[in-house]
Amino acid sequence: MLYSLLVKMQNWRIEKGRPRLEQGWHITLMLGVLLLLFSLLYQFLALVAPPLDGPNKLFFLIWVLCFLCYFAFCAYILMSTRPPSRWLWLQLGIIFLGATVFRVQLLPLPLGLSRDAWRYLWDAHILLHGYSPYLYAPNNPIFAPLHGSIYTNTPYREFPTKYPPGAELFYILGYLLSPKNLVGLKGLFVLCDLLTCVALAILLACRGLDPRQVIVYAWCPLPIVEFSIQGHVDALVIACTVIAVFCSRGSSRTARITSGVFLGLAILAKLYPALLLLVLVRRRDWNLPAACALTVVLGYLPFLWLSHGQIAAVVLSFSGQDTLHPSFIQNGLLLLGHSMQLAPTTMLVVGRVIEGAIGVSTVLFVKRQFSRKHISIEGAVLVLIGIGSCLYSYVFPWYIPALLPWIAVLIAPLRRISQGFSIKKLAIVVVCLSTYAVILTYLPDLR
């Protein structure tokens, strides 16, 4: 209903032939009103935010309401024409102000849906005491003197860490800011998220697109809640990836090296951005891959030393993630194997083979389409990140924000929706399905 009302308002203004100046004024006013509305919704969300393992139904319902308002207003923005310069800057200012206010409102709240951030703090805690999180699980008796509130809230105590070295270094920064709580670490994630918004707006402008499309990411309730309240490291990965792609547009040596460094930092925080080398590296371009490789090597070296040269423990720390959190394909095969009385290990092996075949086929397809210029860098990145984060393990809600910056670039203005099919219009379907569907994974945990 809200979407239909906004559509009618936009069509009424266009039919009346109102000048672009007046349209800019109306949209600016609407942005201001929506900023206040979202601010009130997030304030109410903060009031009903549950503690860990507490009742969360009301929180979830308000969160869904935030999504409904977000989709309606994104559609409203995408239906409007780009305003004159002064109105454009004012509207961008309101969008960035809203992105900042919404995140800061939720930053002080305790975790309510995931305990992962406590594990981040635990890893930093033992690193600063001279222990490698790649060698020792939190429940190791050697850590008995270090037990406290951090250990009490830490999940997966029976496993050594699964996070790459870049993420571990970032956890140390957050721990140094606030060693007894998560505010410092979550604050760093919020800064990364806001950096993503700025870099994305610049990328949109450089591609000749409407920079207001940054609202697709900046005001989306999914990253706002998952990074400001839950404090997931994916905020760091997204920021580094967007900057790497933006810098890769340049041809100068400095731009290529900078792109390689940020891509290396993204790989050091999570491994799947390594797939982006397929589309970011140009022929006879050694600056980007060399800078990326050097960054990754330098990131791993301190942890190899701290782990007493046990290379496998550090480099293969991610192994076993699919057995801990099986992917959709593996879950389906496990159910099938259970009905056929087949061993789970057999079905996991079959699942890995199928996932490997899908992954290789997708990578080859994207590489071929990109080399023929049938797909843009952003389109290729969207597909590669999607396949990289979806195949290996279970798709958690905080994985999906990694797709949103590229959807913001690819999405087509709704006023051109009748001009035929394209990947840009497909992005509209993707953003709706992915962001709505992924929060439904919280339904089994509603209390």
| 296-340 pLDDT tens trace | 999 999 999 988 778 877 877 777 666 667 777 777 777 877 788
Q: Is residue 292 part of a domain?
A: yes
- In angstroms, the CA 66 to CA 82 distance is 25
Instruction: Give just the sign of the alpha carbon dihedral 110, 393, 409, 62.
Output: negative
Token digits of residue 191: 């800064």
- The pTM of the full predicted model, rounded to 2 decimals, is 0.89
Residue 40 lies in a domain: yes
Average pLDDT in the 104-119 region?
90
Give the separation between CA 375 and CA 416, rounded to whole angstroms: 20
Residue 65 lies in a domain: yes
Residue 429 vs residue 423, higher pLDDT: 429
Phi and psi based region of residue 217 (left: phi greater than 0; alpha: psi -120 to 50; beta: remaining): alpha
- According to the model, what pLDDT value does residue 22 have? 47
Average pLDDT over residues 21-33: 76
What pLDDT shows up at residue 447?
A: 62
Cβ(326)–Cβ(348) below 8 Å: yes
Alpha carbons within 13 A on the beta-carbon side of 215: 26
d(CA 374, CA 376): 7
**Helix, strand, or coil (residue 1):** coil
Quote the mean pLDDT of the chain: 84
Q: What is the pLDDT of residue 299?
A: 94
Angle CA(437)–CA(438)–CA(440) in degrees, nearest 5? 70
The first and second tokens of residue 149, run together, are: 């509130």
Structural domain range at position 406:
2-115+171-325+393-445
pLDDT grade for 15, boundaries at 50, 70 and 90:
very low
Query: Is residue 373 situated within a structural domain?
Result: no
Q: Rounded to the nearest 10 degrees, how much is the dihedral formed by the CA atoms of 387, 437, 108, 48?
A: -170
More confident residue, 445 or 255: 255
Instruction: Please state the domain count of the chain.
Output: 1
- pLDDT at residue number 99: 96
Task: Assign 281 to helix, strand or coil.
Answer: coil
Residue 276 belongs to some domain of the structure:
yes
Please answer whether residues 393 and 325 qualify as being in contact, where contact means their C-beta atoms are separated by less than 8 angstroms. yes
Indicate whether 11 pLDDT > 60. Answer: no
Residue 18 lies in a domain: yes
Residue 119 confidence (pLDDT): 94
CA 415 to chain centre: 28
Q: Are 193 and 237 in contact (CB under 8 A)?
A: no
Q: Is residue 177 part of a domain?
A: yes
Contact 320, 167 (CB under 8 A): no
199 lies in some domain: yes
